[in-house]
Amino acid sequence: MSLRYVYGIVPARAAHRLDDERLLGVDGSAVRPIVDGDLAAAASDVSEAEYGSEGLNEHVRDLEWLTPRAAAHQAVNARILEIADVVLPLSFGALYRDDDRVREMLRENADVRVTRLAALAGRAEWVVTVTRDPRESPGADDDLRELDRDIATSTPGRAFLLEKRRTTISRAATERSDRETADRVLGALDEVAERMYTEPVAKGGGDVVVVRISLLAPRDDADRVDARIERLTGELSDEGYRVRASGPWPAYRFGALS
């Protein structure tokens, strides 16, 4: 028995291009269009034993199993974007019993999906993350240097109080620098983006995430977007921040936003 693994949704008029492309998806399975009305799903057949609910729940905890399949999922959607000029990418593991169930899915909110595809045509998504080392204190150097000199020449009791003051000043300066850096990045990227979304980020862990942004821009502007990201990378590196960016991708975030 096999299930239908769906990668993304495209306009029905692009279905023949998927047929012509002969894409291979997860586990080397052939990607084919399943059409209903104005929409088509890019899908492939996968083993029910491997991808059924029990099997999939086990496998997604196994990075050795998951990593190449997640990469294949993204690669298929990236290629579909090239072929169809637009795709609403689904998350990894979108599975349906058969072609009829896929068609039922396409009929759900079909008008909304058609409108969203039209709005995303010719566009792509980038994800930009700015981090810093938690041991670094951007923006506090001058104040801290003066305090360090005072601490070095103070009595133990006064040095203890100055150390506490140093911690407070360092924290406040770093928080201020992080806010200013986030605003600066948002302003710089807003000039090259049609839409932006500031992603929620978790606290704690390793590097401090100052800001993470998903941005939508025309694919024809890719060089301009990449140049702006490269400029920010160089500028912020000198200030103790690191920029990581990926894209252009299909609109994973903006395909899900109204």
Query: Do residues 74 and 165 share a domain?
Result: no
Out of 75, 96, 121, a domain closes at 121
Return the pLDDT at 136.
73
* In contact, 44 and 29? CB cutoff 8 Å: yes
Mean local confidence (pLDDT), 48-65: 82
Cα torsion angle, 209, 76, 194, 188, sign: positive
34 forms bridges with which residues in the sheet?
A: 41
* Residue 258 clears pLDDT 60, i.e. is over it: no
130 forms bridges with which residues in the sheet?
A: 211, 243
Quick: pLDDT tens for 68-121: 999 999 999 999 999 999 999 999 989 999 999 999 999 999 999 999 999 999
* Residue 55 clears pLDDT 80, i.e. is over it: no
* In contact, 73 and 25? CB cutoff 8 Å: yes
Query: Do residues 87 and 132 share a domain?
Result: no
Query: Do residues 105 and 129 share a domain?
Result: no
Helix 156-190 vs helix 141-152: angle between axes, to the nearest 10 degrees?
170
Query: Do residues 183 and 113 share a domain?
Result: no
CATH number at residue 167: 3.30.70
Q: Higher-confidence residue: 138 or 33?
A: 33
Query: Do residues 87 and 148 share a domain?
Result: no
* In contact, 239 and 150? CB cutoff 8 Å: no
pTM of the model: 0.81
Return the pLDDT at 61.
81
Domain assignment present for residue 234? The answer is yes
Cα torsion angle, 198, 94, 44, 39, sign: negative
Return the pLDDT at 209.
94
Domain assignment present for residue 176? The answer is yes
The domain tally of the chain equals: 2
Contacts of 32 (CB under 8 A, 6+ apart): 18, 19, 42, 43, 44
Domain assignment present for residue 255? The answer is no
Confidence of residue 175 (pLDDT cuts 50, 70, 90): confident
Mean local confidence (pLDDT), 181-203: 94
Query: Do residues 22 and 99 share a domain?
Result: yes
Domain region containing 200: 124-249
Domain assignment present for residue 20? The answer is yes
Q: Higher-confidence residue: 140 or 29?
A: 29
